[in-house]
């Protein structure tokens, strides 16, 4: 690697990265007010926003990372939240879901799609049992090694699961 080119790029970006880091820290501080004590990790603002929006929509609370889900409600819902930002290729695919059956699996999956500016584009809610029944979970392999599962959002086919669309008027 050419050290001069590396140093030049680093120098060009340093001021921008410092501003970005400062803004991210400010955002995380604001989000902490809504996290009911859950420790928000690093720069995962996209994931944190999805979890907090879901918590607010369902009137629940965030749970720690030892659970298979992210949000619980008084009514007993255990919601796994997956969030993607933007509409580039791959936005419809959830991140890895470690397990789909057994004890303590979620009751619901919420998929949040954020726009480029971090505002909510659409939110889908799926009953976990429906995803299993309809064989929606797909196995995820990385370099030939099984890592977990994912689902793909089908915007047209999943219209009944869409609980929020920024293009719709909700009251």
- State pLDDT tens for residues 42-75: 668 899 999 999 999 999 999 998 899 999 999 9
Q: Where are the beta strands (DSSP E) in the chain?
A: 61-62, 71-72, 78-85, 108-114, 120-127, 138-142, 145-150, 162-165
Q: What is the pLDDT of residues 129-143, one digit of tens each?
A: 999 999 999 999 999
Average pLDDT over residues 26-55: 86
pTM above 0.75, yes or no: yes
Closest CA to 121 of 73, 168, 58, 64: 168
pLDDT beyond 90 at 38 = no
Radius of gyration for the alpha carbons in the chain, expressed in angstroms and rounded: 18
Distance CA 77, CA 129 (A): 12
In contact, 153 and 124? CB cutoff 8 Å: yes
pLDDT beyond 70 at 78 = yes
Amino acid 1: pLDDT:
41
Q: What is the pLDDT of residues 80-105, one digit of tens each?
A: 999 999 999 899 999 999 999 998 89
Q: Please indicate whether residue 104 or residue 7 has the higher confidence score (pLDDT).
A: 104
């Amino acid at each position: 690697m050419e050290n001069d080119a590396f140093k030049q790029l680093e120098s060009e970006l340093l001021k921008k990265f410092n501003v970005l880091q400062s803004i991210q820290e400010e955002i995380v501080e604001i989000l902490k007010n809504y996290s009911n004590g859950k420790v928000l990790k690093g720069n995962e603002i996209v994931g944190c926003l999805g979890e907090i929006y879901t918590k607010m929509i369902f009137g629940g609370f965030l749970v720690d990372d030892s659970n298979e889900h992210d949000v619980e409600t008084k009514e007993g819902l255990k919601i796994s939240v997956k969030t993607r930002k933007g509409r580039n290729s791959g936005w419809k695919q959830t991140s890895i879901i470690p397990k789909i059956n057994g004890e303590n699996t979620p009751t619901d999956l919420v998929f949040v799609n954020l726009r480029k500016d971090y505002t909510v584009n659409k939110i889908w809610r799926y009953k976990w049992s429906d995803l299993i029944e309809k064989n929606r979970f797909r196995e995820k392999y990385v370099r030939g090694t099984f890592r977990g599962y994912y689902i793909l959002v089908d915007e047209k086919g999943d219209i009944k699961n869409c609980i929020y669309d920024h293009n719709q008027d909700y009251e």
